[in-house]
Amino acid sequence: MKLPVSRRDFLQTTALGAAAVSVLPKPLFAAEAGGRLKVGFIGTGNQGMGLIKRVLRFDLADIVAVCDVNEGSHGYRDPGHFYGREPAKKMVEDHGKRHKGKAAHECKAYADFRDLLADPQIDAVFAIVPDHWHAPVSILAAKAGKHVYCEKPLTLTVAEGREIMAAVDEAGVVFQVGSQERSNPVSQFVCNSVKNGAIGDVTRIETVVGYNNKVGPGPGWSADPVPKEFDYKMWLGPAPQVPYHHDRCLYRFRFNYDYSGGQITNFGAHSNDMAHWGMGMDTSGPTEIQCNHAEFLPEGSLFNTATVTSYRCKYPNGVELVCKSSEEKVQTRFEGSNGWMQTGYAGTTASSPELLKGLPDKNGPDGIDPHSAHMKNFVESVQGDATVNAPLEVGHASAVLCHIANAAIRRYPEHGDEVLKWDAEAERFTNSDGANDMLARPRRAPWDDLA
């Protein structure tokens, strides 16, 4: 499929166009006339296919289009997974035939997300793409007048968060960050209990990120031929031009700094977000951050994100947050003057049984799981019946914490026991120009100009 020449050409050919962006109705939703929300999925890999299945299972909206640079292949998280735009299109249409018969709608399949955004029937998009695509997709979707559900972490860099917020504010669209713990009744119970003083004054928080769950090639690796069904040039997009290797893309993108922040952003976008939530500091950040320990693969390995990490932060209220790599199933542990509470994949515990009275089931009273509930909350917010559980500003603050942690980690051990001072309002380090250089990075043309 031929790519549009530029973003400006894209906007000129989009039904809403650049001139209409500032006067979009709130909410912009075709179903106001009695129809249903029509959505497009940008990204049909491991996470994208899982979310598509949930939308179909709970009949949350009509999926009328999918998009991916991969026509269809194996090579995702598990060997048996066959994902991509054609498998996604088939799954949506087969589901419609089984459950709606002749009333089932066609699901279009696009190779370029800008073509999907130019489709006037689409009200909202789910951006389930590698982290280096979150900002370009979100910004152009907002400018096209589409409501946006963007997976976590919100951004690849600190600077991108401000870009997204400016575009969303101008367009007036609904935006949900895919931090589904915000729609998990158990996480809501724990974080709100802590915020409301159940354990007294919070003094310390421990958060956990997982170890790398995939192994890539070491130094001396050689390039692979690009599969014919895979548009590698488009997959790279704003990232540096580098040789193709199958371990660079699809699920494994998260282990290379060109596309992600490793497990610090992958898991930290959940556990650290909950830390901010429980402190009542959803849109703030620490005053200082220090890396205690970090380990990396040998220089020249394809995977270059840290494999083991430990860092600490200090907040204006005196709370110390320590985040570490661990196999523990505890995501977030709150310690206070009158007790402690912790929650994670292994369950929820506390210093006293009284603290857990009223603890709900994670699937909620209607039996809907947190992922699905989070998407349902987005749909209802677009309809005007709710407000998003994970607002843009909240997702930005959580992503910023992960990004500045990576800045400290990548400077370790060369800079030893360096304590980086952070101005959360200005979003700058006050004592390190070198660390500030990591808060933004250039994007390759034509993705360098999204204004």
Domain ranges for the chain: 7-181, 182-356+393-436
For 96, residues 6+ apart whose C-beta sits below 8 A from its C-beta are 103, 104, 105, 107
Contact 210, 305 (CB under 8 A): no
Confidence at residue 29, expressed as pLDDT on a 0 to 100 scale: 52
For 251, residues 6+ apart whose C-beta sits below 8 A from its C-beta are 45, 46, 75, 76, 77, 214
C-alpha dihedral over 58, 60, 62, 64, to 10 degrees? -90
Q: Does CATH place domain 7-181 in 3.40.50.720?
A: yes
Give kind and range of the element (H or E) at residue 308: strand 308-314
Binned at pLDDT 50, 70 and 90, residue 365 comes out as confident
| Tokens 């075709």, located at residue | 30
Whether the predicted pLDDT of 20 surpasses 80: no
Q: What is the mean pLDDT of residues 184-207?
A: 98
Strands lying side by side in the sheet with 339-344 = 347-350, 339-344, 330-336, 202-209, 320-325, 308-314, 288-295, 420-423, 428-429
Mean pLDDT of the chain: 92
Confidence at residue 57, expressed as pLDDT on a 0 to 100 scale: 96
Binned at pLDDT 50, 70 and 90, residue 148 comes out as very high
Confidence at residue 247, expressed as pLDDT on a 0 to 100 scale: 97
Tokens found for residue 280? 């009542």
Q: Which residues pair with 109 in a beta bridge?
A: 66
Q: What is the mean pLDDT of residues 54-62?
A: 97
- In 3D space, the residue among 317, 323, 324 whose CA is nearest the CA of residue 285 turns out to be 317
For 214, residues 6+ apart whose C-beta sits below 8 A from its C-beta are 247, 251, 252, 255, 303
What pLDDT, in 10s, does the model give residues 266-296? Answer: 999 999 999 999 999 999 999 999 999 999 9
Whether the predicted pLDDT of 362 surpasses 50: yes
CA–CA separation, 138 vs 418, rounded Å? Answer: 35
Binned at pLDDT 50, 70 and 90, residue 76 comes out as very high
| Fold match, 7-181 / 182-356+393-436 | no
Return the DSSP state at 182. G
Confidence at residue 72, expressed as pLDDT on a 0 to 100 scale: 97
CA–CA separation, 184 vs 274, rounded Å? Answer: 11
Contact 124, 148 (CB under 8 A): yes
Does residue 450 sit in helix, strand or coil? coil
What pLDDT, in 10s, does the model give residues 370-386? Answer: 999 999 999 999 999 99
What would the CATH number be for the domain defined by 182-356+393-436?
3.30.360.10
